[in-house]
Amino acid sequence: MRLSIHSKVFLTLLLACVVVLAGSHAFVQWSFQRGLVEFADAREQERIARVVERLVDLYQREQSWRPLIEDRNFWLYALNGRRDPWREPRSERPERGPHWMRETGSNPRAWPSQSALDRIQQRERPTPLELRLMLLDAQGDILYGRPELLADTRRYPVNADGRRIGELALLPGSPVPESAELRFRATLGDRLWIIALAMLLLAAALAYPLSSRLVRPVRDFQDVARRLATGDFSARVPVRGHDELARLGQDINALSAALERNEQARQRWAADISHELRTPIALLRAELEALQDGLRPVDRDALDALHGDTLRLGRLVDDLYELTTTDMGALGYRFADSDVTEILSADVEAFAHAFRDAGLRLDFNAPLSIPAQISVDAQRLSQLFRNLLGNSLKYTDPGGALRIQLWQDAQQIIIDFQDSAPGVPLEALPRLFERLYRVEGSRNRHTGGAGLGLAIARNVVEAHGGTITADTAPQGGLWIRVTLPVSRRSA
């Protein structure tokens, strides 16, 4: 059986309510029972104190227990205090009251009576206080009671004028023997169960809409996920509040926005690639058709032109391949401990001759006291440096210069490439690292670039956890700054 998240949340809330109600009911029952027992025990002590007072009064009238021994009614009066035998003649005292007052048996001083004792032993119901009391004189002789029951009794002294005249013996038993109290306890227990059931129904009625409200954002997430799966990247989740679900909704919206931007970039990328490939292919096709139609002679110049177009098309394909491989991120890199200064020095030396032939000065300064040893992919890092060196070589006017400086602080290695004029317009600087973007003007297509070199450079730097930025150089050209984190340093 599969349960929806709505059902699971509803059942979880309902179960929590059941646990709370059950715990509350058990606590109330325990608290009430404890309070009732404490109340009954205190009242029992008060009743025993009144029994003691009546016994003292009876004793002091004759200064002995003789009247109580001779007349059982004095004992009954001491127990319940209903009629005083001194004030009411025997003929005026009808035999009425509880059954244990009328039961005497063969020995009137055997207390409780045999029939009452049988009921006590059978534990049919809680025993009244009057049947649990026995009276002993000062010497410990039984006045009213049974010798076999004295072992487990609790004693209460009976004192008159500062001397002990006897004691009461209390049999063990519940302090809640009255029928009214028992009925009250049973009634309250039943009503507590009714209240608990009513509260459970109310909790269920409240938990269902509450669970629906809690699950509503999840359904919105599900709808947006389905739309994203179908390619509708404009889908967004309505965000309400500031809780975890709201933050999850913001994350999903951020994902949707990223997918939408990537889709737009993919479409632009496909269109730009088509355009970039179409141009050299169209030129190559036009040259071949001109040769086929006899409009141009098949000579060395024509072949050189075809070869040049083929080389440009090959360079574009190679740049696209390099961009694709660098797009793989760090997963496509092989990191090892390498000296950045050594890698850059080798690349600068490799380009030194080309810069001299182009009439450009190449200055490299790396004032480091220790090797800049960090974990890098040496081949990719060399590709980055060669791209930047090649850009300056292609775009810098003759007579200019490229100044390279490598330095290090506590957290990163910083490499600056500053060339001379021509520069890049300020409005074009933020877009230099976009794919297939070329600056209109002097740094443009006439040099043969496809606008992929700096995009490849950005991929390489980001795969190493660094940054690459562009600005205007003090010499009037372009200033490229590459930072690589020292945190990749080998231990």
Where a domain ends, among 305, 326, 347? 326
Task: Return the pLDDT at 481.
Answer: 96
Where a domain ends, among 179, 211, 228? 179
Judge if 394 and 268 occupy the same domain. Answer: no
Judge if 248 and 301 occupy the same domain. Answer: yes
Q: Is the pLDDT of residue 224 over 60?
A: yes
The stretch 299-310 carries a mean pLDDT of: 81
Which candidate, 352, 488, 341, places its Cα nearest to that of 415? 341
Judge if 175 and 146 occupy the same domain. Answer: yes
Judge if 110 and 26 occupy the same domain. Answer: yes
Judge if 321 and 266 occupy the same domain. Answer: yes
- Among 132-141, 215-224, 226-235, 309-318, the minimum mean pLDDT is found in 309-318
Work out the mean pLDDT of the chain and round it to a whole number. 80
Judge if 439 and 462 occupy the same domain. Answer: yes
Which candidate, 430, 299, 417, 300, places its Cα nearest to that of 355? 417
Where a domain ends, among 139, 163, 179? 179
314-345 burial by CB neighbour count: b if 16+ within 10 A, else e?
eebeebbebbeebeeeeeebebeebbbbebbb
Residue 225 is assigned to a structural domain of this protein: no
Q: Is the pLDDT of residue 186 over 90?
A: no
Judge if 320 and 373 occupy the same domain. Answer: no
Which candidate, 464, 355, 453, 349, places its Cα nearest to that of 413? 464
Q: Is the pLDDT of residue 373 over 60?
A: yes
Instruction: Check if the beta carbon of residue 189 is closer than 8 Å to that of residue 7.
Output: no
Judge if 338 and 282 occupy the same domain. Answer: no
The residue among 197 and 469 whose pLDDT is bigger is: 469
pLDDT 10s digits, 143-175: 888 888 888 888 999 998 888 999 999 988 776
The stretch 356-383 carries a mean pLDDT of: 88
User: How many Å apart are CA 396 and CA 423, to the nearest integer?
Assistant: 9
Q: What is the pTM of this model?
A: 0.47
Q: Is the pLDDT of residue 141 over 80?
A: yes
Judge if 339 and 483 occupy the same domain. Answer: yes
Task: Return the pLDDT at 477.
Answer: 93
Judge if 310 and 431 occupy the same domain. Answer: no
Task: Return the pLDDT at 442.
Answer: 47
Quick one: CA dihedral 143, 150, 167, 123, positive or negative?
negative
Q: Is the pLDDT of residue 211 over 80?
A: no
Judge if 168 and 252 occupy the same domain. Answer: no
Print the domain residue range for 292: 244-326
pLDDT 10s digits, 55-111: 898 888 888 888 888 888 888 888 887 766 666 655 444 455 555 555 555 677 888
Residue 298 is assigned to a structural domain of this protein: yes
Task: Return the pLDDT at 446.
Answer: 44
Residue 193 is assigned to a structural domain of this protein: no
Q: Hey, what are 105's tokens?
A: 């048996």
Number of structural domains in the chain: 3
Task: Return the pLDDT at 489.
Answer: 45
Looking at the chain, how many residues does it have? 491
Q: Hey, what are 212's tokens?
A: 């629906």
Task: Return the pLDDT at 217.
Answer: 79
The stretch 303-316 carries a mean pLDDT of: 78
User: How many Å apart are CA 71 and CA 108, to the nearest integer?
Assistant: 9
Residue 38 is assigned to a structural domain of this protein: yes
Residue 422 is assigned to a structural domain of this protein: yes
Report which listed range, 298-307, 318-327, 377-386, is most confident: 377-386
Task: Return the pLDDT at 296.
Answer: 78
Residue 201 is assigned to a structural domain of this protein: no
Write the CB contacts of 17 (distance below 8 Å, at least 6 apart in sequence). Answer: 199, 200, 203, 204, 207
The stretch 109-127 carries a mean pLDDT of: 70
Task: Catalogue the long-range contacts made by 232-239 (C-beta closer than 8 Å, 24 or more residues apart).
Answer: 233/259, 233/260, 233/263, 234/260
Percentage of the chain modeled with pLDDT above 70: 82
CATH number of the domain within which 318 lies: 1.10.287.130
Residue 211 is assigned to a structural domain of this protein: no
The residue among 28 and 374 whose pLDDT is bigger is: 374
User: How many Å apart are CA 344 and CA 365, to the nearest integer?
Assistant: 11
Task: Return the pLDDT at 414.
Answer: 94
Task: Return the pLDDT at 34.
Answer: 78
Task: Return the pLDDT at 405.
Answer: 95
pLDDT 10s digits, 191-206: 778 888 888 888 888 8
At 418, give phi and psi (nearest 5°).
Answer: -125, 115
Q: Is the pLDDT of residue 44 over 50?
A: yes
According to DSSP, residue 112 is labeled S
Percentage of the chain modeled with pLDDT above 90: 19
Q: Is the pLDDT of residue 301 over 90?
A: no
Task: Return the pLDDT at 177.
Answer: 52
Residue 50 is assigned to a structural domain of this protein: yes
CATH number of the domain within which 379 lies: 3.30.565.10
Judge if 52 and 118 occupy the same domain. Answer: yes
